[in-house]
Structure 1
Amino acid sequence: MGKNTKTKLILSATPLRRLSQVTATAALGFAMLAAIDTDHAQAVNLKTFNISGNFASASEDGSVGLPVNLANASFNGSYTVDVDQLPASSSFVDLKNWTVNLVKDNTILRTLSNNLAGNTAYIQENILAFSDAGLLTKQNNKLYSFELNFDKSFTGTDSTNDGNFLDNSDLGNVKNSGITAVTFAQSEPVPEPQSIAGTVVIVTIGLSLKRKQKT
């Protein structure tokens, strides 16, 4: 083999080596990015829960305004939380996209929501709480706190007979002050879309089989 031929082979092999190196580097880079994306996706495990329950038949003595109106009332709503942070320790795990309606005789007396200025919600240890931010900062007199006390190691699914709505707010000419206890509350996961779809399919098949049996 001549010198020129060897030189040509070496020159042609060099780009191939570089191409292989570039390909390997790119593949490694994509793998690293995929791992980062996976870790990032796994870092937040958001889950939505429905909450509902009932208030006591009477507020505490001396209560006025909304706490009195909540006698024999109910509540319902939902919240989203990163379940990987539960059970919560002494730190606060903030809720996301949450809304709670206080209802009596099919009328909403008050709505608590992350869309309302000053409203905040969190889980701390076994406490699920919705409140006016001023209750924590003590920067204003328009305070309320709606708390549900579950068993220890609360991870979003549980029921309780322990809770209350505490109100000390002055909205216009209406003074609200006092406490109304919660007699029952439950928090349960919202069914996954796959579960709902599966249930629909099962029901549909069941109805079809019944029709065939009748036929």
Structure 2
Amino acid sequence: MTVTALATLVVAGSLTWTVLYALSPFGPSGVSPARGLPADPCTVVSEELRDDLDAEVSSWSVSNYSSGCGWNVSMHGQDEVSLRVFHSVPMSEADAELAEELSDEDVPRDAETMYEDEVESAGELAAVVEGSTTEIVGTEEADLGLGDENVLVLADIAYEYESGTTQRVSVVVREGDVVSSLRVTLPSGGDDLDAAGAEELLTDVIADVFG
């Protein structure tokens, strides 16, 4: 790893485990993502579809083992909908050990475990303040026939101090050693979807990301 890349390393989350990201407002600094990972993660959704969704980039990240992009989009009759896509591969043993030392978290050593961890997180809340009434009030799953393993997980979330439920749709796909995750968060106030409706809503995005 180059000195430039080392100078831009910070600890951040990818999928459900901690990795080292190389971040820069001007693009990746001397980082070459592993085979199967997009070097420019914000192009995995086509320019035409981004225009249709009025997408604005909200975040991006590139490392040797992962790349991802987030947008604010207009979807399902709502503005400021969060759309995020991440692709990741297992770390080398040496880098996994370093990540565990820095984060005090277990790092999966294979794509199958990474996939299982991401599917589990799709039906859970990342963190809840003690005493909060925020909770997952329902989940639904569907098989989309993608990759070696896949699942669509629709989670209904009741946030404290908010009426109605927020719906979070996660599509997780493993293709060989690459685990990809598409996540859309639909704020409360819109029409509720079931898993079939969520798949239909995201048909074009799914085709771009996993096609």
Scaled by the length of structure 1, what TM-score is found? 0.31
Which has more helix, going by share of residues?
Answer: 1
Q: Report which of the two structures shows the higher radius of gyration computed on alpha carbons.
A: 1
Provide the TM-score with structure 2 as the length reference: 0.32
